[in-house]
Amino acid sequence: MWVRILILAFTLAVLAAIAYAMLQYSILD
């Protein structure tokens, strides 16, 4: 159970980081 929760949280964190980076790059453009 805990492993699935950790993987889900990690995936969400990675997706959020990618989305934030894309927003930063789009703003800089």
pLDDT digits (tens, 9 = 90+) for 1-29: 899 999 999 999 999 999 999 999 887 76
Closest residue by Cα to residue 22 from 14, 4, 2: 14
Report d(CA 18, CA 27) in Å as an integer. Answer: 14
Q: Would you state the pLDDT for residue 28?
A: 72
Domain ranges of the chain: 1-29
Q: Tokens representing 26? A: 């789009």
pTM of the predicted structure, to 2 decimals: 0.66
CA distance between the termini of the chain: 42
